[in-house]
Amino acid sequence: MNKNETLNLINKCVRDLNGYHLEPRNVPIKLNQNENPFDWPVAIKEEIAKFCIERPWNRYPAFIPAELKELLAKHVGLESSNVIAGNGSNEMLSVLMMSLVHEGSKVIICEPTFTVYRLLSTGKGAECISVNLTNDLEFNIPELIKTLATNPEALVILCTPNNPTGASLDESEIRSILDIHRGFILIDQAYIEFGGYDAIPLLKEYPNLIITRTFSKAFAGAGLRIGYLLGNSDVIAQINKIKLPYNINFLTEHIAGTLLKNYSLQQETIQTLIAERDSMFSFLKQMPFDKVYPSMANFICIRCSAKKELLSYLQENGILVRDVSSYPKLENCFRLSIGTPYENEQFKLIVKNFFGIN
Ligand SMILES: Cc1ncc(COP(=O)(O)O)c(C=O)c1O
């Protein structure tokens, strides 16, 4: 068998994909991945390192990470039967796709949005239907409602606050979708700690609502890979069957529990990041950009006709932001993650230099 014959055995929907890709670059100021720039205190890391040394590595982790599920449930005001924990919310998205999507399924997304939704659903052979955001990069609710009418069982994925635009849905907008749609609705709230309507209270009313969250943003745990999925307990029991056994290793379980118990430490950094975002927004509005989009998250989307030159200039000066100009409707746009006050000041300085403003 030659190599091409072998490659042809790979699912066509997978062969047709453009994989998720991020160019690795080492720069002093990294404002390209919406991470929390404030790391956890060393004392907490040392306690975790001690646990890691003492815990036998030859034994499997708990079959059900019961303590972590309890802590997560308490954190969001639900029961542990409403929770699945995993390796980042990406794993939760994948588990969800495995449970809900098959060849011929329809998945409705509001683009531009997080690219993994399209990647996973088309990779599973589903048809991905896009309802574009408006020209102001807001959700287009009337258009979404029209699309639901012709696709009553489609899985709808709403990212709020939305990556990479920062737009957010309010309670009445979310209810207007939940009240009419019979299919599942996934609300990805990876950035909810920074602002926007928290959809968790709606879980009690709508069994077709699922919410995903992550430790990678506000929780300052991107390197750890921890995320979770919330839903009606009967729905969770079904989805749980397809999750791989032992998906959470003992260290992740322990770290996630420790971070939850110490969450109050991050609350201060979250408040700092929100204040920094708002001050950055005011600054950006004063600069000669084509458009700066309001954001409820820890990043801001900016349209700049000199995007290419500005991004090169930033990089020459050690600052990396995310070029999102290849997304639908985002021509000439880039996304700036909010960094530490020092990093943000450096960014402002370089931008002012670029535009020749004192
Ligand atoms: C909207 C959204 N959902 C999910 C994720 C993935 O998060 P995790 O690191 O938990 O897999 C990201 C990461 O950037 C994101 O922006």
With cut-offs at 50, 70 and 90, classify the pLDDT of residue 171: very high
- How far apart are the CA of 146 and the centre of ligand 1, in A? 28
N-term to C-term CA, the chain: 66
**Using a 6 Å cutoff on CB, does residue 166 contact ligand 1?**
no
Structure tokens at 36: 């929390």
Residues 239 and 93: their CA atoms lie apart, in Å, by 11
Q: ω before 112 within 30° of 0 (cis)?
A: yes
Q: What is the pLDDT of residue 326?
A: 96
Look up residue 164 and give its DSSP letter.
Answer: T
Domains of the chain, start order: 3-40+264-355 (3.90.1150.10), 56-263 (3.40.640.10)
Cα 336 from chain centroid (whole Å)? 15
User: Which mutation among 84, 89, 96 tests ligand 1's pocket best, with the greatest number of atoms within 8 A of CB?
Assistant: 89
Picking from 3-7, 65-69, 219-223, which range would have the lowest pLDDT averaged per residue?
3-7
Nearest in space to 213 (alpha carbons), one of 223, 226, 222, 204 = 226
Query: Does the beta carbon of 253 sit less than 6 angstroms from any atom of ligand 1?
Result: no
Local confidence band at 8 (pLDDT 50, 70, 90 cut-offs): very high
90 lines ligand 1 (CB under 6 A): yes
Q: Give the distance (Å) from ligand 1 centre to CA of residue 288.
A: 31
If pLDDT is split at 50, 70 and 90, which confidence band does 229 have?
Answer: very high
| pLDDT of the residue at 19 | 83
Distances (CA, A) of 159 to 5, 46, 109, 186, 358: 39, 35, 9, 8, 38
Whose C-alpha lies nearest to ligand 1, atom 3?
Answer: 190
Tell me, what's the pLDDT at 26? 85
Give the mean model confidence (pLDDT) for residues 273-290.
Answer: 98
Query: Quick check: 24 pLDDT over 90?
Result: no
Checking if the pLDDT of 20 tops 90, the result is no
> How many angstroms separate the alpha carbon of residue 36 from the centre of ligand 1?
13
**pTM, entire model:** 0.96
- Residue 273: per-residue pLDDT: 98
Taking each helix axis from N to C end, the angle separating 341-355 and 307-316, rounded to the nearest 10 degrees, works out to 130
162 Cα nearest atom in ligand 1: 1
Work out the pLDDT band at 49, boundaries 50, 70, 90. Answer: very high
Please give the distance, rounded to the nearest whole angstrom, from the Cα atom of residue 113 to the centre of ligand 1: 11
Which position has the token pair 């102001």?
136
Percent of the chain with pLDDT over 90: 95
CA 65 and chain centroid, separation? 23
- Give, for ligand 1, the residue of 97, 216, 225, 337 to mutate: max count of ligand atoms closer than 8 Å to Cβ: 216
User: What type of residue is 289?
Assistant: F
Centre of ligand 1 from the C-alpha of residue 8, in Å: 31
pLDDT digits (tens, 9 = 90+) for 155-165: 999 999 999 99
Q: Ligand 1 center to residue 214 CA distance, Å?
A: 7
Residue 1: the pLDDT is 82
Backbone φ, ψ for residue 319 (5° rounding):
-120, 125
pLDDT averaged over every residue in the chain: 96
Q: What is the mean pLDDT of residues 100-109?
A: 96
- Please indicate whether residue 214, judged by its CB atom, sits closer than 6 Å to ligand 1: yes
Q: Is the pLDDT of residue 261 over 80?
A: yes
Instruction: Report residue 68 as tokens.
Output: 């972590």
* Run of H or E residues at 303: strand 299-303
Distance 354 CA to ligand 1 centre (A): 31
Which pLDDT belongs to residue 258? 97
